[in-house]
A = this chain, B = another copy of it.
Amino acid sequence: MAAPVSQTSAAVERSLRQRIPPLLTDLYQFTMAYAYWRAGRHNEPAVFELFFRSNPFGGGFSLFSGLHDCQLFLRSFHFTDEDVEYLRSVLPPGSDPAFFSYLRKLDCSGVTVQSVPEGTVVFARAPLMEVSGPLAVVQLLETSLLCLVNYASLVCSNAARFRLAAGSRRKLVEMGLRRAQGPDGGLTASRYTYMGGFDLTSNVLAGYLFGIPVAGTMAHSFVTSFSCLEEVWPQSLAPANEDNDGDDSDPVDLISLSKGWLGRVCELLGADPGVAREGELAAFLSYAIAFPRNFLPVIDSYSVASSGLVNFCAVALSLCGLQYQPLGVRLDSGDLCRQSLEVRRAFRACGDQFSVPAFHSLIIVGTNNITEHSIQELNKKENEIDAVGVGTHLVTCTQQPSLGCVYKLVEVRGSPRMKVSEDPEKSTMPGKKAVYRLLDIQGHPFLDLLCLCEEPPPQAGVALRCHPLVGAQDIVTVTASRVARLREEVFSQGQISHPLRNAAEVRESVQNSLKTLHARHKRLKDPDTYTVAASEKLHAVLKAVKRCGHNQNSSSKILLEN
């Protein structure tokens, strides 16, 4: 059951404003903003970079997501009187009142964002977004941008891994709403797992807001709510009227029909009709009468082999007799592979025995605590599962529940800035940069190059030396067959300067971007490391800034002029 219905992006933007008001940030953004303002530095031009330090899930790549929300957030960023009054109450009593008037008038009209397009394959340590603008403003944006990118990118990457594990044929259904981090965690998960390669979601609001196809039929509670056939109402169903000639056929008593089929099915499959649960049969009949074209019950409420399967076949054969096409079954417990084989055998036997071709196209859906690993197992073990529903492990990203994106200051008033940490991997890469993706002769990207903005872009066919940011090699020489700029301007002068794309468009980008990636980087386990490197000039600035902390301005200026 699926129907993509796109809503206006206005509804999405409204919902986002409610979800992420500008107070949803860390207090220290405001104390820092105050101190910048007090020192008269709030309008100094500054540049921050957003990146993550290692690829998630032990994999070789990630997908960049959350940009659309960031763009909407930036466009609507402003403080209300109520916000400002609250801030006044939490900053120390002596704070200058003029600061709060300044806050009240703030917006992102001075902010420019360069970003990797949403849905692009990205790698650790390459700066994904560059946010430049007045120091106090771009500082204030930190937590919100991280919050919008971190989980979106993580769960999109997780979904892409499930898709890679499943192969392109099997349908993937996201159903994690109840296990996510509250309501909005669930909504975010539905949206970005669809982008990452899932086909359907159980989440109705995600369908409403983002046009994602929705799916679902019944839970165990529906089955167990029925105890006897007297609860089935109405008890009859009119045959499907395919030719629409207005001449409705008379309704047929579906209970009697199914009881007859149940006997024959049990005989064929060697089951005891006395063991099949009457309540389950009643539930299946009621559902089939309500949705004769969408019959896909869950068949393990009691016992698949002795009850659920034979009850399904009895009702499905009755539907077929009335020219309806039942869809299939869902298995939600036990050994899904083994059961799917039994179920398929039964479908084939019924299809052949009773000459019902529809039984050869029934689908089997599996939904029991599915992990990336169990999906990979599906490719190794014999099974007949056509579609998989994934909840907990998809939305909570159990393998690694956080991406760890950071947002670091790299330049103020044109001079590079750097943090030199006690943990070497927490040090940052100074300076405003251009980022290029180098592709090989087959069109596979093989290196992301960070350069100074002032440098000429690398040329295709020309060898260049650069410094990998991680790994044993200090310097490598590479020649690209093609060079692409990795980022583009997505926000400037208070406006979104790159068109917003809907979930389906981003979903396509993700698959296209993944297709270009070489298999050795795409392997789910122990992939080859993709190289992210600094140009020789950027590397020189890094060394200089590290060495001469006392006056970063002069040291780096000298270098840049060289």
CB neighbours of A409 from chain B (8 A) = 220-221, 224-225
Could you tell me the distance in whole angstroms from the C-beta of A75 to the nearest C-beta in chain B? 16
CB neighbours of A479 from chain B (8 A) = none
- Judge whether A177 and B147 touch: CB under 8 Å: yes
* Contact A228 to B553, CB < 8 A, known contacts A419-B220, A421-B333: yes
In-complex Cβ contact of A291 among B35, B204, B287 (8 A): B35
Interface size on A, residues (CB 8 A): 137
- Copies of this chain held together in the complex: 2
- Judge whether A148 and B23 touch: CB under 8 Å: no
Is A278 part of the binding interface, using a Cβ–Cβ cutoff of 8 Å? yes
Is A417 part of the binding interface, using a Cβ–Cβ cutoff of 8 Å? yes
Is A396 part of the binding interface, using a Cβ–Cβ cutoff of 8 Å? yes
CB neighbours of A216 from chain B (8 A) = 26-31
Q: How far is the CA of A90 from the CA of B202 in the complex (A)?
A: 12
Q: How far is the CA of A505 from the CA of B343 in the complex (A)?
A: 53
Is A169 part of the binding interface, using a Cβ–Cβ cutoff of 8 Å? no
- Judge whether B421 and A225 touch: CB under 8 Å: no
CB neighbours of A89 from chain B (8 A) = 3, 5
Is A541 part of the binding interface, using a Cβ–Cβ cutoff of 8 Å? no
* Contact A177 to B26, CB < 8 A, known contacts A207-B90, A286-B39, A409-B224: yes
Q: How far is the CA of A336 from the CA of B418 in the complex (A)?
A: 22
Q: How far is the CA of A401 from the CA of B391 in the complex (A)?
A: 12
Is A477 part of the binding interface, using a Cβ–Cβ cutoff of 8 Å? no
Contact with B along A31-63 (1 / 0, CB 8 A): 110111011110010101000000000000000
11 CB contacts below 8 A, A to B, read: A23-B204, A23-B208, A38-B286, A39-B290, A44-B225, A92-B291, A147-B178, A181-B185, A227-B415, A278-B549, A396-B396
Query: Hey, which bits of chain A sit against chain B, CB under 8 A?
Result: 1-3, 5, 15, 18-21, 23-32, 34-36, 38-41, 44, 46, 48, 83, 86-87, 89-92, 94, 135, 139, 142-144, 146-148, 150-152, 155, 175, 177-189, 202-205, 207-208, 214-225, 227-228, 231-234, 277-279, 286-287, 289-291, 293-294, 300-304, 307, 333-335, 339, 368, 392, 395-398, 401-405, 407-409, 412, 415, 417-423, 426, 428, 549-553
